[in-house]
Amino acid sequence: MERLAIVICAGSALGQNIIINGDFESNSAGSTQFNLSNVSFTSLMNNSTAFGTSEELDIITGLSLGIAPQSGSWKVGMHERQGLGVDAFSLELSQPVVAGQVYDFSCWVAGLADFANPLLQFEVGLSGLANDFGTTVVFGTAASTSAWNEVTSTFVAPVNASHITVRNFVAFNNYGFIDNMSLSLVPAPGTALALLVLGARRRR
C-alpha cells in the first residue's frame, strides 16, 4: 500500500502550481504602495521583476483601492497610461515550461470604476528572461469593478520558459487588479492510469 501511495503522489505533482508567489503574498511592501517604478516594484515583490514602460504598478493590501484581494491580503494593480505605456512584470517558475507540453492557466481579475476604461485588459506570456514579455499565450478581461472573475486557459506551450509575464493590453486609461495566478502541467492522456497500474503491480 505504501508503494502505491508514493506512485499516485508523484502523478499528482503534475497538477501543482509552478508560479512562485502568484498570489503576491510574499513581499516587503508593509503597506499599500502606489505608482511604483520598475526598480521599486522589483525590490518589494519577491520572485518578480517589473519591466513595463508605464512604471506605475501598485502593490495593494486590504481596501486601500478597489475591492479586497481575491486571495490573502495582497493584490497587484496595473495601469495603461493613456497610450503612453503599459505596466508589466514577470514571476519566476518553480520548474521550467517545456515547449509542446500542455498547461492550465488561471488568474483572478477585477476593474476599478474610477478610470475611463475601468475593466482591466491584459495578456499573459511565457519568457526565458525576467525582463522581456516573451510570447503571448493568454488574453483576458475583467468583467466587473465590484467582483473578481476568473480567467482560465488551457494551451500548448509554444516556447520553453523560465518566467510567466503579465502586461496591460493597450487600451486608453486601462486599470485593474490581478491576483492568485496559477500555472500547472496537464498530464498526458493515460498518464494517471499508467501510474495506477504501475502501483498495483508493485503491490504484488
Q: Is 154 exposed, middle or buried (0-12, 13-18, 19+ CB in 10 A)?
A: exposed
Contact, 104 vs 152, CB < 8 A?
yes
The pLDDT > 90 percentage for the chain reads 75
Q: How many domains are contained in the chain?
A: 1
Region of poorest pLDDT, from 40-49, 95-104, 111-120, 148-157: 111-120
Could you tell me the residue range of the domain that residue 188 belongs to? 2-203
- Extended strands (E) in 65-173: 74-80, 88-97, 102-111, 121-127, 135-141, 149-156, 161-168
Count of alpha carbons within 13 angstroms of residue 143, beta-carbon side? 7
Contact, 130 vs 47, CB < 8 A?
no
Mean pLDDT confidence for 155-163: 99
Angle (CA) 88 141 118, round 5°: 85
Q: What is the CATH number of the domain that holds 145?
A: 2.60.120.260
Region of poorest pLDDT, from 14-18, 27-31, 195-199: 195-199
How does pLDDT run across 77-113, given as a tens digit for each residue? 999 887 678 999 999 999 999 999 999 999 999 999 9
DSSP state of 194: H
The string of DSSP codes covering 145-189 is: SSS-EEEEEEEE-SS-EEEEEEEEPS-TTEEEEEEEEEEEEPPPT
Q: Which amino acid would we find at residue 154?
A: T
